């Protein structure tokens, strides 16, 4: 089974619409939809925004459904001139940019317990997702790079440059780093696929309003192509 987590309804609605839902279960105020999409067994859930909501959701999903793989799907702010609205980013490592225990001697971004700054993601799943983007002639560039999460909507050039120069991230959002942590400690294969809705700059709020629904649909459409391909890895 593959678990799919999106923060907002827009980020999971199309999957729920396209799948054959066999069961919907409420746990911890989350609504898990289990069923089939293109013959593939999946469970889909909306986590809510932010790292804590996403972590609660991922851990609950793992305990209840034991998926072999989890994909975090949704939108993100693009970092760098190359990463444009509509582009796709596959997470080659997940970061939590708001974690800072440097005052007690740690590296910036180091997540206590697992003691990592860059939490690994599945290169095999990224390969399949990139191949799916080629197959469906995805309109936009596909980047494989680090995604940085934090409990902030980034809308300043200063902050996004800091995230880029400190962590080498190409996109920012608010969930995938915490889901990566949960998957890492549970040994669940994981990646995040995000479509760029804004450039995390001073115009980010306006761009997000305009492009987030479109961007969310781009990732769910890609997943509809990718899910049957993922069965075979
Ligand atoms: N999700 C989409 N755009 C974002 C941004 N600029 N900051 C944080 N999360 C986002």
CB 184 within 8 A of CB 120: yes
pLDDT above 60 (res 233): no
In DSSP terms, which residues pair with 25 in a beta bridge? 32
* pTM for the whole structure: 0.97
Distance in angstroms (rounded) separating the CA atoms of residues 205 and 213:
13
CB 176 within 8 A of CB 58: no
Which positions are catalytic? Answer: 11, 198
Find the helix or strand (DSSP H, E) in which 191 lies: strand 189-198
Distance in angstroms (rounded) separating the CA atoms of residues 230 and 211:
28
160 CA to centre of ligand 1 in angstroms:
10
Q: Is 198 in the pocket of ligand 1 (CB under 6 A)?
A: yes
Structure token pair of residue 118: 């860059």
Nearest to 28 by CA among 63, 1, 2: 63
Instruction: Write the pLDDT tens digit of every residue in 170-225.
Output: 999 999 999 999 999 999 999 999 999 999 999 999 999 999 999 999 999 999 99
């Amino acid at each position: 089974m593959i678990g799919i987590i999106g923060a907002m309804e827009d980020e999971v609605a199309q999957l729920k619409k396209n799948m054959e839902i066999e069961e919907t279960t409420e746990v911890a105020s989350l609504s898990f939809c289990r069923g089939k999409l293109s013959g593939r067994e999946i469970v889909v859930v909306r986590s809510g925004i932010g790292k804590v909501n996403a972590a609660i959701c991922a851990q609950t999903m793992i305990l209840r459904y034991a998926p072999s793989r989890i994909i975090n799907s949704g939108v993100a702010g693009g970092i760098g001139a190359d990463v444009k609205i509509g582009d796709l980013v596959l997470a080659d490592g997940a970061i939590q940019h708001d974690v800072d225990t440097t005052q007690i001697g740690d590296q910036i971004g180091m997540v206590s317990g697992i003691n990592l700054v860059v939490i690994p993601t599945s290169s095999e799943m990224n390969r399949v997702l990139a191949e799916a983007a080629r197959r469906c002639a995805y309109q936009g560039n596909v980047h494989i790079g680090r995604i940085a999460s934090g409990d902030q909507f980034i809308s300043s050039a200063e902050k996004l440059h800091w995230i880029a120069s400190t962590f080498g991230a190409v996109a920012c959002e608010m969930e995938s780093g915490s889901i990566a942590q949960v998957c890492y400690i549970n040994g669940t294969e994981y990646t995040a696929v995000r479509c760029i809705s804004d450039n995390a700059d001073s115009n980010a709020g306006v761009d997000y309003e305009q492009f987030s629904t479109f961007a969310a649909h781009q990732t769910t459409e890609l997943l509809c192509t990718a899910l049957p391909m993922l069965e075979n890895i």
